[in-house]
Each structure stands twice: as structure tokens, then as C-alpha cells.
Amino acid sequence: MPNKNPKVYDQVIDDIKNKIKSGEIKKGDRLPSERELSESLGVSRTSIREAIRALEVIGLVESRRGAGNYIKTNFEDSLFEPLSVMFMLQESSPREMFDVRESLELQCARLSAKNIQDNELALLAAILDRMYLAESEEESLELDIKFHYIVAKASRNVLLINVLEVISQLMDEFIKKFRMQILHVGNTKESLLEIHENLFRALKSRDEAKVYNAMKEHFNLIRKAYDYDE
């Protein structure tokens, strides 16, 4: 009868994790077959299958029908479910998510000042032009999201980008409702456009302090409008 001892199960997972740490296995790589893993580790194929299933559940491995098991190349979906459940269980408020997003975006902005490329600056300029001409709130929101995504991507920090993307997904519905509210507070719409313009100019000059301050000003404006609405 196949050995289902938890220690055997953990041995398989630890072996794969160690191969990832050492660089022997990289994202997108195909894992050895169940037979190969069973023979090399001296454990049952049942234990191998259970370990692979566990790695699928946590989002590290994906099974492709008829092709075998692979280390995933994209981990945004893997992060979304556990983080969303964590936020729900802890009854996190939109304000708490906002605080996390602000911290992540500020760091992304700081890194983007150093790493942004000319083609990304051109994309931001085009988006900014369209933001001034946007005829609907839906179009304005879509452009705003694209603008911030390009800034985040320009940080070149994959971990920051992935976690920020998850937080952004969690906040999507809140943002759509909330943004409608803040645009009716004083001249917030005009101020947001001006801040995006300042952020773009700071990125173009690659001035880290100015980029950080412009992004901070963006979040200060939103926070002030939110407090006002409360």
C-alpha cells in the first residue's frame, strides 16, 4: 500500500522548492514526470501526486493535460485568492486597503523614476492627452488605471507589481464608486489632472524626489476627498 506519511509528502514538496531556490528549476519549466520523481526521491507515485496537487492549490504549479506539470509563469492569480480571503476574514476596511496601495505605489513611483523607459513615457503622454479629452467617467477611470499601471510596471520590481495588482483588483469596485464621489468635491477632477501632469513631468525628468512627491500629492488629494465625504 502506498506510503502517505506526511513526512514523505513534505519531502517531495521540499525537494521541488529546493530546486527552485537553487535555480535548477525556473518559472515555466516542466517538472520531471511522476515516475522520475518517484524513482529519484524513493517515494510512491501517490505521494508525488499529492504533493503536486498541493503545489497546484497554492498556485506554484499548473498541470497541462497531456503535457505534464509546470512551474507557473504568472502568479497574480495565485496571490489574489489568498489575499482576498485574508482581507475578508480580517474584515479589512477600504481605508486599510487604500493604505497598503498607497505604500506600494509610492515605492513603485520612486523606482520608476530611475527605471522608466522612453517608450513608457510616450505611452503616459498619450494617456494624459486622452484624460483631458475624456467624455465619460468610465473612460476617465480606464485611462487613470492604465496610467498608474504603466508607472508601476516601470519600477521593474516584479514582486511589487504583482502585489499591487492584487490590491488594485480587490479595490476595483470600491474605486469605481468612490471615484464618482470624490470628483464632486470642489475642483477634484481638475486637481487630479494637474497631479497626473506633474507626475508625468517628474518622471520625464527622472527626479526621484519629485516623482515621489507628485504621487504622494495624488494620494493626499484622494484621502482628503474621502475624509470630506465621510
DSSP string, 46-108: HHHHHHHHHHHHTTSEEEETTTEEEE-S--HHHHHHHHHHHHHHTT--HHHHHHHHHHHHHHH
Q: Which CATH number fits domain 6-71: 1.10.8.50, 3.40.50.300, 3.20.20.70, 1.10.10.10?
A: 1.10.10.10
Domain spans of the chain, in order of start: 6-71, 77-229
Q: How far is CA 11 from CA 4, 16, 28, 57, 98, in A?
A: 11, 9, 22, 17, 40
Q: What is the CATH number of domain 77-229?
A: 1.20.120.530
The average pLDDT across 170-190 equals 63
pTM exceeds 0.75: no
Is the pLDDT assigned to residue 3 strictly greater than 50? no
Tens of pLDDT, residue by residue over 146-161, are 999 999 999 999 888 8
Q: Which residues of 163-191 are buried (b: 16+ CB within 10 A; e: fewer)?
A: bbbbbbebbeeebeebbeebbebeebbeb
Q: What percent of the chain has pLDDT over 70?
A: 82
pLDDT over 70 (residue 48): yes
SS3 43: coil
* C-alpha 125, offset from chain centre: 23
- Whether residue 1 has pLDDT greater than 50: no
Is the predicted pLDDT of residue 228 greater than 50, yes or no?
A: no
